[in-house]
């Protein structure tokens, strides 16, 4: 590899390192920590050179017997590939009881007696999805291959027309994990009105971009090893998962001049890498960017984030005026707790399995899902937010927490009901228009909490 004209030498070093290691691989991928080569600008001392050389794989890595440490790691991962549960500063339970009541205008004197806030000492294991085998069978009957490669592997799927009407409900019940890759691809293609031909073009774009320099390479390299590092695929420095993540983010940073690379894209790409090869993750990111509103979310100034927050605040104001008033009283701006939610699509704010469930419906419904999740959280904790002992610190600490649903299904069912409300959806569309008008007339700066 040679540097491109005008490419920063440190950036080239990063890009070149990932490219070289893609050829050789690294030792102990999946169970060793690996050796840092780029991030801390490791010096060129003799010792560090020897270290780096020793960590290169020699081609026999995945051919012999499994290393005992590899067996140990493999034995300790959960069903999604996490071997350590990431530590979170504050874990709180998202109670189900409030979710039994549909979103409706409430003011003070709640009819429902709410449980006290439950703080969890550690993240409990995710519950096994209910009736999983039945659901797998249903999805198997519903999904139809439309394109196969030469080896007979399905490249694209569609829904049997007789099952069309079931799709929404089944997405809300949770896509069985073994069907997630196929179903997510299908949902994204439907939403984008795209098919295998468009995917093939994007796969080609991905490969071409790999050979071009990106001014974001150094930043991407800083973020790669700290993105879901408790996951077996992303554990080893420069292991296959980290290389894929780097390459996807690199190519995607060249896709849109306005967006480039933004911190927050990493957890999204890493989640997708659990289900697709890198080139198809790139294609998925392009679809999220083009048709699922992420272009406006990631553009400078985060206009799509502010729009979502405006819509969230209008829902709070109309449905939970006491909550809205409490936020005003305590001077809590919505950006101070919800920015992370809207930019990372709830990666790192809820357990991984819950995040997948939210994405199942996001890919069906679109970005409004995340506004509904934000509203659900505020709805569940409305008593804590409006209580007499609430203050700036208690409310903000609570809303900055990691939320563990008491029952994922209760949360998803509540979101389904909320987004199924046609009047609310029409209002949400209107509020989006209102926000655009506020921006156009320069009145947006004072329109948010």
Partner 1 sequence: MSNKQYQFKLVLLGESAVGKSSLVLRFVKDQFDDYRESTIGAAFLTQTVTLEDQTTVKFEIWDTAGQERYKSLAPMYYRNANCAVVVYDITQTASLEKARTWIRELQRQADPSIVIALCGNKLDLAARRQVSQEEAKKYADEEGLMWMETSAKTGEGVAEVFTAIAKKLPLTALPSRAGAGRTAAGARAGVDLNKQAANHGQNEPCNC
| Contact positions vs partner 1 (CB under 8 A) | 39-43, 86-87, 89-90, 92, 116-117, 119, 219, 222-223, 225-227, 229, 260, 262-264, 266-267, 300-302, 330-331, 333, 335-337, 339-340, 343-344, 348, 384, 387, 389-394, 396-398, 400-401
CB of residue 266 vs partner 1: minimum separation in angstroms? 7
Nearer to partner 1, 186 or 326 (CB): 326
Q: How far is the CB of 376 from partner 1 (least distance, A)?
A: 19
Between strands 91-94 and 402-405, the pairing is parallel
Q: How many CB atoms lie within 10 A of CB 368?
A: 21
Pick between residue 115 and residue 167 the one whose CB is nearest to partner 1.
115
Round to whole Å and give the CA distance between 334 and 346: 15
CB of 262 to partner 1, least distance (A): 5
CB of 354 to partner 1, least distance (A): 17
CB 351: neighbour CB atoms within 10 A? 24
DSSP 3-state of 164:
helix
Q: Which is closer to partner 1, CB of 171 or CB of 358?
A: 358
Instruction: Compare residues 194 and 332 and give the one whose CB is closer to partner 1.
Output: 332
If the CB atoms of residues 64 and 300 are measured against partner 1, the closer one turns out to be 300
Q: Which is nearer to partner 1, 241 or 267 (CB)?
A: 267
Tell me the H-state helices in 292-421: 294-298, 303-319, 321-329, 335-344, 352-365, 368-380, 382-386, 392-399, 408-419
Q: Which is nearer to partner 1, 335 or 409 (CB)?
A: 335
Closest CA to 338 of 379, 385, 370: 370
Contact call for residues 214 and 4 (beta carbons, < 8 A): no
Question: Where is 425: in which H helix or E strand?
Answer: helix 422-440
Minimum CB separation from partner 1 for residue 16, in Å?
20
Closest contact distance (angstroms) between CB of 364 and partner 1 is 25
Tell me which residue of 169, 180, 254 sits closest to 217, measured CA to CA: 254
Kindly tell me which of 260 and 278 has the beta carbon lying closer to partner 1. 260
**Measured distance CA(198)–CA(427) in Å, rounded:** 33
3-state helix, strand, coil in the chain (%, to 5): 55, 5, 35
* Cα(330)–Cα(392) distance, integer angstroms: 5
Please state the closest distance from residue 387 (CB atom) to partner 1, in A.
Answer: 8
Task: Tell the smallest beta-carbon distance from residue 383 to partner 1 (Å).
Answer: 10
* Nearest-angstrom CA–CA distance, 381 and 386: 9
To partner 1, the closest distance from the beta carbon of 418 in angstroms equals: 24
Nearer to partner 1, 158 or 335 (CB): 335
Minimum Å gap between C-beta 222 and partner 1 is: 4
Q: Per residue in 133-159, is it b (16+ CB within 10 Å) or e — as a string?
A: eebbebbeebbeeeeeeeeeeeebbeb
Residue 234 DSSP label: G
Nearest alpha-carbon partner for 347 in 397, 398, 272: 272
- Euclidean distance between CA atoms 434 and 99, whole angstroms: 29
Residue with tokens 């179903």: 183
Nearer to partner 1, 199 or 214 (CB): 214
């Amino acid at each position: 590899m040679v540097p491109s004209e005008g490419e920063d030498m440190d950036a080239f070093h990063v890009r070149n390192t990932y490219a070289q290691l893609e050829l050789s691989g690294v030792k102990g991928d999946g169970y060793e920590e690996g050796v840092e080569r780029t991030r801390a600008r490791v010096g060129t001392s003799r010792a560090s050179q020897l270290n780096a050389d020793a960590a290169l794989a020699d081609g026999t890595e995945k051919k012999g017997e499994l290393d005992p440490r590899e067996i140990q790691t493999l034995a300790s991962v959960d069903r999604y590939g996490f071997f350590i549960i990431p530590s979170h500063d504050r874990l709180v339970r998202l109670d189900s009881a409030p979710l039994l009541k549909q979103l409706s205008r409430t003011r003070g004197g709640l009819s429902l007696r709410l449980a006290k806030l439950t703080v969890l000492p550690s993240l409990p294991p995710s519950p096994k999805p209910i009736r999983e085998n039945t659901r797998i069978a249903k999805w198997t009957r519903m999904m139809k291959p439309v394109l196969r490669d030469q080896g007979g592997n399905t490249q694209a799927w569609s829904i049997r027309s007789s099952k069309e009407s079931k799709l929404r409900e089944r997405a809300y019940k949770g896509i069985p994990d073994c069907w997630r890759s196929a179903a997510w691809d299908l949902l994204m293609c439907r939403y984008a009105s795209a098919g295998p031909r468009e995917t093939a073009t994007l796969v080609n774009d991905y490969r071409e971009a790999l050979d071009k320099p990106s001014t974001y390479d150094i930043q991407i390299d800083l973020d790669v090893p700290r993105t879901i590092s408790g996951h077996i695929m992303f554990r080893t420095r420069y292991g296959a998962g980290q290389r894929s993540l780097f390459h996807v983010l690199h190519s995607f940073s060249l896709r849109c001049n306005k967006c480039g690379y933004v911190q927050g894209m990493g957890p999204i790409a890493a989640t997708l890498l659990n289900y697709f090869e890198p080139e198809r993750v790139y294609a998925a990111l392009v679809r999220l960017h083009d048709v699922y509103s992420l272009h406006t979310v990631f553009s400078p100034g985060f206009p799509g984030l502010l729009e979502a927050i405006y819509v969230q605040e209008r829902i709070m104001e109309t449905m939970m005026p006491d909550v809205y008033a409490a936020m005003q009283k305590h001077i809590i701006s919505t950006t101070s707790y919800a920015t992370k939610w809207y930019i990372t699509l709830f990666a790192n704010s809820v357990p991984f399995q819950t995040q997948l469930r939210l994405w199942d419906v996001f890919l069906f419904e679109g970005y409004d899902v995340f506004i509904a999740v934000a509203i659900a959280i505020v709805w569940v904790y409305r008593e804590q937010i409006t209580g007499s002992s609430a203050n700036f610190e208690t409310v903000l600490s609570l809303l900055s927490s990691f939320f563990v649903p008491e029952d994922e299904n209760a949360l998803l069912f509540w979101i389904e009901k909320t987004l199924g409300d046609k009047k609310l959806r029409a209002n949400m569309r209107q509020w989006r228009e209102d926000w655009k008008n506020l921006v156009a007339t320069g009145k947006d700066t004072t329109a948010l909490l």
